């Protein structure tokens, strides 16, 4: 049964992002990125890259080369039509890849109480629990009976007395909206809705700009005949073109490019936030010409038509009509909102992150809790040895114009013996002698201070080695060349080519 005690409301209301599966391609030929999400990107060469958790910067996943698009939950579609799911977490450094069976295409993925996939024909698939299908190493999806011709899926937690039930909402291709019974057993149309072009929780946008809504709280069971909608009176006549709702806060943009806000604003302090409801939409007048808007963590983010991104905090008793906005970035073409952080692409094709970063969500190469100023996502840099791609457990980090790689990722392939002395906090890279041209070699790096010695003599580096969340990063060029390799930077490919005889 899909229900939860009401006192878990704070936990359950942590919303996921209202985001698309991918962003528009980069607008400039100088960028190697063809598409991206909040934690992944695809390059022109077909390589697929992810970040967050153990991968603090974009890290290539060779098994997913040829991926054409990725969706929430790590679902990827490859150029041969096959589907796979990728997963990374804090507990293991490796990224797991699992085949997906069932749907042949993906149009949308909805992950809340269950994982649902909609294919391009409008069929909805639900994931079979691993304990039910008896299969290992595969994610199996089966068609969901009773609902079809679906264009989009959303949902919300519905209160029934003191319990919460997750209700799925289905926008059909014919413009009608259906809901399940919170058990995925029966499906009924929501009365009053037609010609709907967008749904967001218990709100629906009609093609003529009218916003509709319906109850999501009941004393006892909901009406047996199904949900009944009605026009959302506070926005009547406003000619809305976009709506978003994320459990607590609602946003609407009208055909005059104006922004409306309603719902929850935060009061109190960080240790005891309280959401204060603002049921009547307020027209924001301190910013105009709105292209898009999102709630990201505890902030309202606005993208204007002149490609500027602004932020104002949702930490006041009520949202005023003229909140003070701070300029975050300019020249932004696309934003991918992940709920607590966002990734932006600029007109030059570069990616920038803003927001919560405790799990390296911004791809910047650190684990600072929050970045209040946008930071660049590290470039997706590949490494090859004698023309063969070298997979890394975590990607290349560039600091001070130098490229660094994880301790154990590469140098063993160059004939070195790589060890780590935990008590002394020393990484040791040794090479046995091989004649006069390759004498014995020893490089030591202190994991805390970055102090580096070559054959016992201190070496001054422009940028010292460093530690990121327990992973020691070493200077790629310096160590590779000491081991007898040649290193070439290929900027058009964003690739470091190492040659070793």
pLDDT tens profile 342-393: 999 999 999 999 999 999 999 999 999 999 999 999 999 999 999 999 999 9
Q: Residue 135: what pLDDT?
A: 46
Distance (Å, whole) CA 266 – CA 250:
14
pLDDT beyond 90 at 6? no
pTM above 0.85, yes or no: yes
pLDDT beyond 90 at 131? no
Question: Cβ distance 172 to 179 under 8 Å?
Answer: no
Question: Cβ distance 314 to 300 under 8 Å?
Answer: yes
Q: If you average pLDDT over residues 170-179, what whole number do you get?
A: 99
In the CATH scheme, what is the code of domain 382-499? 3.30.457.10
Please indicate whether residue 10 or residue 217 has the higher confidence score (pLDDT): 217
pLDDT beyond 90 at 94? no
**Alpha carbon distances (Å) from 14 to 268, 298, 322:** 18, 11, 27
CB proximity list for 474: less than 8 A, separation 6 or greater: 404, 405, 406, 407, 411, 427, 429, 445, 465
User: Which residue, 174, 236, 226, 169, is CA-closest to 203?
Assistant: 169
**Alpha carbon distances (Å) from 363 to 302, 370, 460:** 22, 13, 28
- Average pLDDT of the chain is 91
Domain boundaries, the chain: 382-499
pLDDT beyond 80 at 227? yes
Q: Residue 245: what pLDDT?
A: 93
- Tokens 């927001």 sit on residue: 355
Q: Residue 136: what pLDDT?
A: 53
Share of the chain above pLDDT 70, in %: 90
Please indicate whether residue 212 or residue 319 has the higher confidence score (pLDDT): 212
Q: Residue 133: what pLDDT?
A: 46
The pLDDT tens digits for 183-205 are 999 999 999 999 999 999 999 99
């Amino acid at each position: 049964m899909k229900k939860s005690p009401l006192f878990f409301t704070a936990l359950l209301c942590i919303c996921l992002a209202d985001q698309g599966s991918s962003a528009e391609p980069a607008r400039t030929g100088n960028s190697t990125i063809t598409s991206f999400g909040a934690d992944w990107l695809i390059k022109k060469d077909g390589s697929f890259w992810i970040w967050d958790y153990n991968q603090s910067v974009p890290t290539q996943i060779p098994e997913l080369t040829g991926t054409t698009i990725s969706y929430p939950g790590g679902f990827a579609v490859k150029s041969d039509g096959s589907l796979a799911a990728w997963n990374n977490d804090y507990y293991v450094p490796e990224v797991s890849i699992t085949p997906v069976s069932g749907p042949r295409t993906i149009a949308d993925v909805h992950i809340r109480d269950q994982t649902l996939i909609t294919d391009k024909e409008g069929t909805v698939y639900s994931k079979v629990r691993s304990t039910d299908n008896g299969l290992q190493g595969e994610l199996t999806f089966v068609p969901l009976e009773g609902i079809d011709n679906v264009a989009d899926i959303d949902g919300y937690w519905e209160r029934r007395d003191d319990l919460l039930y997750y209700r799925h909402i289905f926008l059909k291709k014919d413009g009608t909206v259906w809901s399940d019974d919170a058990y995925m057993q029966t499906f009924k149309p929501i009365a009053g809705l037609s010609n709907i072009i967008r749904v967001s929780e218990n709100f629906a946008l009609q093609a003529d700009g009218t916003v509709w809504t319906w109850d999501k709280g009941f004393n006892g069971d909901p009406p047996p005949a199904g949900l009944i909608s009605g026009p959302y009176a506070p926005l009547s006549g406003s000619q809305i073109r976009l709506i978003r709702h994320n459990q607590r806060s609602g946003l609407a943009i009208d055909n005059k490019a104006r922004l409306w806000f309603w719902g929850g604003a935060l009061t109190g302090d960080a240790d005891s936030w309280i959401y204060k409801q603002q049921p009547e939409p307020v027209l924001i007048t301190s910013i105009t010409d709105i292209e898009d808007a999102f709630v990201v963590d505890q902030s309202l983010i606005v993208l204007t038509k002149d490609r500027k991104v602004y932020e104002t905090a949702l930490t006041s008793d009520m949202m005023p009509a003229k909140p003070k906005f701070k300029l975050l970035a300019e020249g932004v073409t696309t934003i991918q909102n992940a709920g607590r952080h966002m990734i932006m692409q600029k007109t030059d094709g570069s990616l920038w992150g803003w927001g919560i970063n405790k799990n390296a969500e911004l791809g910047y190469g650190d684990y600072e809790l929050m970045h209040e100023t946008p930071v660049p996502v590290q470039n997706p840099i590949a490494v090859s040895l004698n023309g063969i791609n070298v997979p890394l457990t975590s990607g290349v980090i560039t600091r001070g114009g130098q490229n660094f790689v994880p301790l154990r990722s590469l140098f063993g392939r160059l004939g070195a013996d790589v060890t780590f002395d935990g008590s002394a906090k020393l990484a040791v890279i040794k090479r046995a002698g091989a004649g006069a041209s390759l004498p014995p070699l020893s490089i030591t790096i202190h994991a805390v201070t970055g102090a580096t010695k070559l054959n016992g003599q201190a070496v001054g580096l422009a940028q010292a080695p460093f530690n990121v969340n327990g992973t020691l990063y070493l200077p790629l060029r310096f160590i590779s060349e000491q081991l007898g390799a040649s290193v070439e930077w290929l900027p058009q490919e964003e690739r470091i080519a190492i040659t070793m005889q």
